[in-house]
């Protein structure tokens, strides 16, 4: 724990900002049918997968890049990106952790997730995605015993084609919006989870994403299926090295919960946010969508967003099954020149569906933060209810905090309630804390953590501690 705390101390100047010197195999720059065929070919994908990609690409060619969001960014040249980048030594996939390239392992150690260590100590199964290829999946034996499938997407396509075929693209179809469609065409890897009927996953599953190569877009695709009566808690963490140019991250995450199943999905996102002057950083344009397909199912999103130059994502729940529940807990922190436009969508289709949204936004420095959410109660969603609370905290008068909720209620049996407040840390609170011996920064940290408590509580234990520290670190230098 001590070393971990020390590591976090070093976070002051983005501690994950190292690059690993590994030879990469790259597809040539650009986006065209050949690149897609190249990706599909190198991954030895079956034909139906290639067709899936090509269909998406056909659609992509017709789509226009959206421009309604609040944070504007310079135009991305999609032809000037690498769509595939894999460490060279991965060509012959290692059979176990010992066979991994030592340099790779070192990278993970620097990140604070030694694969073996963490697997053993925390009992967490980690699937680490390095640029575009999933490096190794730990803790496989334990999971297999329960019949749980937890592997990389490429492996799932090879070994479990029926499941992938059945569910991939059912929540985020190939005909979705611009970035999701791009992902469908060029996605490289990601995680695949299948929890069989009645199984309660004995440990937290976790993925670690890292963008290493420069000028690379990361397009991973995650698919989680919880069969009838099962439960899974899944956590993803993200980092990227410091680079001057902006990097694009456009992932797709699909969750499917069948009857009585529950999925808990937590994210701690700490991509490189750019330097103090807003140079560089990740564009985090992710599509996350969960489908409560069965009766009494539940999907819960928890996110702590502290990184990225621009965060633009709306983890959503489609509440299709009767009595299903959707939850969204979010902390988004922007400092310096970071921008975030995030929130959620709750689409109520089934009867007696319930949703809850708690969103906490904190903006400091020159940053801009927007909560944008949709609550849509369909005319057939009898007796549904939604509660939304979104609070914003402003630090300084150079930053902005915005709230844009869309509320559509088409059912007279249903209740929708929405509350939002915007304020700053009061002088009294600060004064009180300082009087008790805290310095101003500690005082702000304490107050902000109190402000975020409702969301932090939702995170799995180990990550709650880290997230809490991350919150404090992200705001450093914003007071005074």
Partner 1 sequence: MKEQLKIDFNKIKEVSNFSNRDIEIKKSYLNKFIENGFPNRKQEDWKFLDINQIISNNISDLSFYNDYSIENKIDSSIFIDDLEHNKIIFINGRIEKIDFSYEDKKQIEIIEDSYTIDKSENDNSLIDLNIAFSNKHFKILIKKGYSLKKPLIIYHLTNEKMKSKNINLRLDFELEQNSSLKLIDFFTDDSEKNFMNIFYNFNLDRDAILKNYKIDKSLNKNLKYSFNDINQKQNSISETFVFSAGSDYFKNEINCNLKGKYSSAFINGIFSLDDNKQHEIRTTINHLVENTKSYQLIKSVLGKNTKSAYQGRIYVDSKAQKTDGYQLSKAILLDETSEFNAKPELEIYADDVKCSHGSASGCLDDNSIFYLMSRGLNYKQAKGLLINGFLLDVIEKITDAEIKDLLKKMIGLKK
Interface residues with partner 1 (CB under 8 A) are 68, 379, 392, 394-424
111 φ, ψ (degrees, to nearest 5): -70, -15
CB 406, min distance to partner 1, A: 5
Cα–Cα dist 387/355, whole Å: 7
Which of 134, 166, 136, 147 is closest to 254 using CA atoms? 166
Give residues with Cβ within 8 angstroms of 430, minimum separation 6.
Answer: 440, 443, 444, 447
Nearest to partner 1 of 53, 339 (CB atom): 339
Tell me the closest approach of the beta carbon of residue 459 to partner 1, in angstroms.
27
By beta-carbon proximity to partner 1, the closer residue of 34 and 379 is 379
* In the complex, least distance from residue 349 CB atom to partner 1, rounded to whole angstroms: 15
Nearest to partner 1 of 422, 434 (CB atom) = 422
**One-letter-per-residue 3-state SS of 333-392:** EECCCCEEEECCEEEECCCCCEEEEEEEEEEECCCEEEEEEEEEECCCCCCCEEEEEEEE
Cβ proximity to partner 1: between 281 and 365 the closer is: 365
Please report how close the Cβ of residue 372 comes to partner 1 at its closest, in angstroms.
9
Helix (H) or strand (E) holding 272: none
Rounded least distance, CB 412 to partner 1, Å: 4
The rounded distance, in Å, linking the Cα atoms of 97 and 16 is 22
CB nearer to partner 1: give 116 or 385: 385
Task: Tell me the C-alpha distance between 430 and 436, whole Å.
Answer: 10
**Nearest CA among 10, 11, 61 for reference residue 32:** 61
Instruction: Please state the closest distance from residue 203 (CB atom) to partner 1, in A.
Output: 41
Q: How far apart are CA 375 and CA 387, in angstroms?
A: 9
Q: Name which of 200 and 410 has its Cβ closer to partner 1.
A: 410
- Smallest separation (angstroms) from partner 1 to the CB of 252: 26
Q: Which is nearer to partner 1, 121 or 417 (CB)?
A: 417
Q: Which is nearer to partner 1, 29 or 410 (CB)?
A: 410
For residues 381 and 375, is the Cβ–Cβ distance under 8 A?
no
The H or E element that residue 22 is part of is none
User: Measured from the CB of residue 431, what is the shortest distance to partner 1 in angstroms?
Assistant: 16
The Cβ of residue 452 has, within 10 Å, a number of other Cβ atoms equal to 23
| Residue 432, C-beta contacts closer than 8 angstroms, at least 6 positions apart | none
CB of 246 to partner 1, least distance (A): 24
Residues 6 or more apart whose CB falls under 8 angstroms from that of 39 comprise 27, 53, 83, 84, 186, 188
Nearer to partner 1, 152 or 363 (CB): 363
Helix (H, G, I), strand (E, B) or coil at 462: helix
């Amino acid at each position: 724990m001590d070393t971990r705390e020390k590591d976090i101390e070093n976070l002051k100047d983005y501690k994950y900002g190292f690059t690993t010197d590994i030879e990469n195999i790259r597809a040539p720059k650009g986006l065209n049918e050949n690149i897609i065929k190249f990706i599909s070919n190198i991954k030895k994908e079956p034909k139906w997968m290639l067709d899936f990609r090509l269909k998406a690409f056909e659609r992509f060619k017709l789509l226009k890049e959206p421009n309604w969001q609040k944070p504007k960014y310079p135009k991305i040249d999609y032809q000037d990106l690498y769509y595939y980048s894999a460490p060279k030594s991965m060509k012959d996939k290692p059979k176990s952790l010992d066979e991994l390239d030592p340099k790779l392992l070192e990278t993970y150690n620097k990140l604070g997730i030694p694969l073996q260590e963490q697997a053993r100590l925390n009992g967490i199964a980690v699937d680490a995605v390095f640029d575009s290829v999933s490096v190794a999946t730990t803790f496989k034996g334990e999971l297999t015993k329960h019949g749980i499938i937890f592997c990389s997407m490429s492996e799932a396509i090879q070994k479990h084609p029926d499941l992938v075929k059945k569910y991939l693209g059912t929540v985020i179809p190939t005909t979705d919006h611009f970035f999701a469609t791009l992902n469908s065409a060029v996605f490289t890897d990601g995680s695949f989870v299948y929890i069989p009927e009645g199984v309660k996953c004995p440990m937290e599953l976790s993925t670690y994403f890292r963008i290493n190569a420069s000028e690379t877009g990361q397009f991973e695709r995650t698919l989680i299926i919880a069969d009838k009566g099962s439960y899974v808690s899944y956590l993803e963490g993200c980092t990227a090295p410091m680079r001057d140019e902006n990097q694009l991250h456009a992932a797709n995450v699909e969750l499917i919960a069948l009857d009585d199943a529950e999925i808990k999905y937590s994210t701690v996102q700490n991509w490189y946010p750019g330097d103090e002057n807003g140079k560089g950083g990740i564009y985090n344009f992710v599509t996350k969508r969960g489908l409560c397909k069965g009766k009494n199912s539940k999907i819960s999103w928890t996110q702590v967003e502290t990184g990225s130059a621009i965060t633009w994502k709306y983890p959503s729940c489609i509440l299709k099954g009767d009595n299903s529940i959707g939850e969204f807990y979010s902390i988004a922190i922007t400092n310096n020149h970071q921008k975030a436009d995030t929130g959620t969508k709750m689409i109520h289709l089934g009867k007696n569906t319930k949703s809850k949204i708690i969103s906490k936004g904190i903006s400091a420095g020159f940053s801009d933060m927007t909560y944008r959410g949709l609550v849509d109660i369909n005319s057939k969603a009898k007796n549904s209810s939604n509660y939304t609370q979104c609070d914003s905290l402003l630090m300084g008068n150079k930053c902005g905090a915005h709230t844009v909720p869309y509320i559509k209620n088409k059912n007279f049996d249903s209740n929708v309630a929405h509350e939002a407040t915007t304020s700053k840390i009061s002088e009294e609170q600060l004064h009180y804390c300082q009087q008790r011996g805290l310095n101003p920064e500690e005082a702000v940290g304490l107050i902000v953590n109190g402000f975020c408590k409702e969301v932090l509580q939702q995170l799995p234990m180990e990550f709650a501690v880290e997230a809490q520290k991350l919150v404090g670190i992200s705001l450093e230098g914003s007071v005074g």
